[in-house]
Every structure is written in structure tokens, then in C-alpha cells.
Amino acid sequence: MRARIVLGIAFITVLWSLTGVNAASATPMGTLALVNCGGGGLTITNTSITWLPNGTIAGTGCADTAPLTNITWSGGTVGAGATANIRNITAGGGPLDHFIDILGAAPVLDFTLDLLGPAAPTNGTACAGLTAGQSCVPATGSPILLVDDGANTIFKLRASGVVTDGVAPGSEWGGVFMSELNMTPVQFQTVLLGGGSLTFTYSGTFSIPESTAVPEPMSLALLGTGLVGMGARRWRNRRQRG
């Protein structure tokens, strides 16, 4: 199923003070914006998410940092044009260490995934017959939100966790993966509940530290019923938050 990336991404301003802070021990701060690497996207089933194309290590996909990216950390700064590995997700797991790793960053910027969702649909699991602006989830408890956009469906998946470089204290991060799909919410729901799969492009925008006003980039993706448990709770993070 073909999807198009919505290019209009709301701008976010992250303010921080560097007064009295040694750059060598700076806690990660800023904005991370991701898009799939060329020719890639993601494939979602009711039990898994696989990012495309393959990353540099097994079990990961490739993502690029987009123009909104502006991260300050103990190793310097990260902007647009960097490459990242993003780890595939399988139902039934706990927190994912190294969910997103920015390649070439030394020490490694490690984004641990602690939580997917939860989604807040206007119509529960009733995806048929939605009107523009209404939303549903594929199954009860799913972190995937499907928003009726008239002729299309906007797919939203919220993700959050902790980012650390192993040197400075970690920071909470959070934001939304999104994609605009040329199908109805009930068509999406039917494919996943029927055991099928969908492949489409994505983008995502995430704030560090996590903000209650995270912008929603038009583009990122996720799941069906099997990953429901991942969206139901925040896992106990194994990493030092500082």
C-alpha cells in the first residue's frame, strides 16, 4: 500500500540554558526529526513493525535525520543529514534498548523505547463510517491511532523513552510517528485483523526532553492487535535517568 509523506511538519522550539554547564557532560536536549532512508518505509503486521531498508546491524532499519533535527549533547551537536539505526519491534517484548542509535555519534546517542501510545480514539474500535476528524484504533488497547482525513487516513503512533550517551544524565524523549495513507481506517483495520501486512513511508518528530506539546509530523507508523500490550503501560526503564 503506497503512502505519501506529508512534508508540512510543525516547528517546535526547545529552549535550554548552557550557563554553568560543561559541554563534556551536557544532558541531551533538542529535537529529533526522522524520515525513512531512500526507498524505505515500514512494514506493519498485527505482531510486528519492521523498518526499511535494513540498518547496519541485524534487526534494525535505516532512518535519516530531517531538517528540524537539532540535538546538543556531550559529544557536540547533531543536525540534519545524519543516519540512524531504528530497531524492529515484536509483540510481547519489554523496553527496547538502542531503539534509535544515531550513527557516527561518539559516545553513542541511545534512544531507549519505554512506551508506545496510548491512543485516545473518538470512536473506539469502530473504524467503519467515520467522518472527517474522527478516529479509531484497530483493536482495544492498541497504540495505533487512525484518523479519518476525508479521502485518506492519517496513521499516528506515539513513542517515548529515555535518551542517553552513557556520559551525561539521560533525558526523557517523546513524539509521534505518522503517515498519510491512501485507504480508509476500516480498510487498515481489516488488513491487520485479518493477519495481513501494510508497507508505507513514515516520518517522526520527537522532543528532548519530552514535551506535552510535541508536534505531530505527518508521517510515522505502527501496529495492530499483537502489540497492544506494549501500549498499555510504561515499562520500568533499565537506564539511569540522572
Confirm whether 123 is domain-assigned: yes
For residue 61, give its domain range.
29-229
Q: What is the pLDDT of residue 39?
A: 94
Cell 474500535 maps to which residue? 125
Q: What is the pLDDT of residue 4?
A: 35
Neighbours of 213 (CB within 10 A): 7
Confirm whether 176 is domain-assigned: yes
Confirm whether 207 is domain-assigned: yes
Confirm whether 5 is domain-assigned: no
Q: How many whole angstroms separate alpha carbon 72 and alpha carbon 102?
A: 13
164: which 3 cell numbers?
A: 542517553
Give 110-113's long-range contacts (Cβ < 8 A, gap of 24+): 110/163, 110/164, 110/165, 110/166, 110/239, 111/32, 111/161, 111/162, 111/163, 111/173, 112/161, 112/162, 112/163, 112/164, 112/237, 112/238, 112/239, 113/87, 113/89, 113/159, 113/160, 113/161
**Among candidate residues 210, 105, 151, the one with its CA nearest the CA of residue 3:** 151
216 residue type, one letter: E
> What pLDDT tens digit does each residue of the chain (242 aa) get?
433 323 222 222 222 222 233 444 589 999 999 999 999 999 999 889 999 999 999 999 999 999 999 999 989 999 999 999 999 999 877 789 999 999 998 888 999 999 998 899 999 999 999 999 999 999 998 999 999 999 899 999 999 999 998 888 899 999 999 999 999 999 999 999 999 999 999 999 999 998 644 444 322 233 334 453 344 344 444 444 44
Confirm whether 11 is domain-assigned: no
Confirm whether 12 is domain-assigned: no
Q: What is the pLDDT of residue 157?
A: 95
Confirm whether 117 is domain-assigned: yes
Q: What is the pLDDT of residue 162?
A: 95
CB 44 within 8 Å of CB 34: no
DSSP β-ladder status, 83-87 and 89-90 = unpaired
Q: What is the pLDDT of residue 235?
A: 41
Q: What is the pLDDT of residue 84?
A: 97
Confirm whether 22 is domain-assigned: no
* Count of domains for the chain: 1
